[in-house]
Structure 1
Amino acid sequence: MTDEYANEHEHDLEAEYLSASDATVLDIYYRDTSPTIDVVVPCPSCSDPLRVSARVDEVVETDMELPIDDSEGVYD
């Protein structure tokens, strides 16, 4: 892959190519009236870091203990 392609192509994201272990939370804040979470993930095509903003649409309780020390249990 050339540097020109890596810098000029569209960074299409598909959930099937991303995993929780690839993401790093950068910021959590309010935009308008909704919480928003910014994460950085690698582009599946060129591995460039991409900053992604996700608006929280729903909040539900979960059956997990905090702090989350062992992330393997999440994927079982």
Structure 2
Amino acid sequence: MLFTDVVMPGGMSGWELADQARRVRPGLPVLFTSGYALETLVEQGRAQAQAIVLTKPYRKAELAERLRDALAAAVVTS
């Protein structure tokens, strides 16, 4: 499981990190988080189709639900 922010320091985005990680480990479950609203990410072209995104701030229950979603999506696509 990879849990990463969409926006990261240093020039690499969470999307790019996930792409590189999946080259090494195809089918890797990924959960993205962001302080931006999902609608904003979509409007800016920064949200990928089928990405599982948890918006900040979030509660433990929301994190747990999205982790389950990411794991279930990985099982379906692999």
- Answer 1 or 2: which has greater strand percent: 1
Pairwise TM-score range, normalised by the shorter structure: under 0.3
Larger-Rg structure: 1
What TM-score results when the alignment is normalised by the length of structure 2?
Answer: 0.24
- Answer 1 or 2: which has greater helix percent: 2
The one of the two structures with greater contact order (alpha-carbon pairs below 8 A, sep at least 6) is 2
What TM-score results when the alignment is normalised by the length of structure 1?
Answer: 0.24
